[in-house]
Amino acid sequence: AQSVTQLDSHVSVSEGTPVLLRCNYSSSYSPSLFWYVQHPNKGLQLLLKYTSAATLVKGINGFEAEFKKSETSFHLTKPSAHMSDAAEYFCVVSRPPNTGFQKLVFGTGTRLLVSP
Amino acid sequence: SAVISQKPSRDICQRGTSLTIQCQVDSQVTMMFWYRQQPGQSLTLIATANQGSEATYESGFVIDKFPISRPNLTFSTLTVSNLSPEDSSIYLCSVEDRAANSPLHFGNGTRLTVT
């Protein structure tokens, strides 16, 4: 069985300061991990994905995440927040690619608030 | 990446009626998925739809309440039947792009409000 835990339901930062959104996972095999972003009244957009290649993954809009197996973590970071980053972020775990269809298990989400 | 068109984008329906949501993909895909996102909640998988076979439902979801059609490799519908206020949610269609070793792409969702 797989699961993800997003440790913060809300994170508030000031524009220009670093962003850290925390995610821990549980999986009985080496998982695929993703971060999706959902802006208000919009669909889900893939930010980045980890599929057993490089442990530091770079995504769109300056976001990156590091897979740490020893800590079972996949935290999302960005050096400098922008107002447009305000959204809901979902950490997602899945089976490894090519091992079966990718049934995604979503975390509960973290709402990122960015103040001027 | 696949482009997914979902219709309607939103609807307000009366209790006891049904709503059918359409999902159109711009390329052929083997598997299509339907998710529900209840207000303030995360996404939950409702069912997986393969072309030419019955949909596979997740625990807690039944065909009588959420019938799904998958007539071809680019289209699917989800019907939410006998609506109650508890069905007010965002319903999202997604597809897998296994050939590109890519995770799911999502449509923009259908926001359903039941009055």
Q: Of A44, A90, A91, whose CA–CA distance to B107 is shortest?
A: A44
Decide if B101 and A104 are in contact by the 8 Å CB cutoff. no
pLDDT of A100: 55
CATH number at residue B51: 2.60.40.10
**Can you read off the two tokens belonging to residue A88?**
């809901």
Instruction: For residue B39, tell me if it sits in a domain.
Output: yes
Residue of B nearest to A32 (CA): B103
Q: Of A82, A81, A78, A84, whose CA–CA distance to A65 is shortest?
A: A78
Decide if B98 and A108 are in contact by the 8 Å CB cutoff. no
Decide if A101 and B98 are in contact by the 8 Å CB cutoff. yes
CB A38 within 8 A of CB A90: yes
Gap between the Cα atoms of B2 and B55, Å rounded: 21
Q: Of B71, B65, B67, B79, whose CA–CA distance to B50 is shortest?
A: B71
Instruction: For residue B48, tell me if it sits in a domain.
Output: yes
Put simply, whether A31 touches B (Cβ < 8 Å) is: no
Residues of chain A with pLDDT under 70: 95-102
Q: Tell which of B43, B44, B57, B112 to mutate to test the A interface (max A CBs under 10 Å).
A: B43
Amino acid at A105: V
Put simply, whether A41 touches B (Cβ < 8 Å) is: yes
Beta-carbon count within 10 A of B21 CB: 23
What is the count of structural domains for chain B? 1
Amino acid at A73: S
pLDDT of B78: 97
Instruction: For residue B72, tell me if it sits in a domain.
Output: yes
| Residue-wise pLDDT tens digits, A59-92 | 999 999 999 999 999 999 999 999 999 999 999 9
Nearest to A108 among B42, B103, B105 (CB): B42
Put simply, whether A97 touches B (Cβ < 8 Å) is: yes
pLDDT of A101: 56
CB A32 within 8 A of CB A26: no
| Residue-wise pLDDT tens digits, B97-114 | 665 555 678 888 999 999
| Residue-wise pLDDT tens digits, B15-62 | 999 999 999 999 888 889 999 999 888 899 999 898 878 899 999 999
Gap between the Cα atoms of A6 and B89, Å rounded: 22
List CB contacts (< 8 A) between A92 and chain B.
103
- Class of the CATH-defined domain A3-115: mainly beta
- What are the domain boundaries of chain A? 3-115
* DSSP for residue B110: E
**Can you read off the two tokens belonging to residue B102?**
């890519």
pLDDT of A29: 76
Q: Of A56, A58, A49, A55, whose CA–CA distance to A95 is shortest?
A: A49
Characterize the bridge pairing of strands B75-80 and B19-25: antiparallel
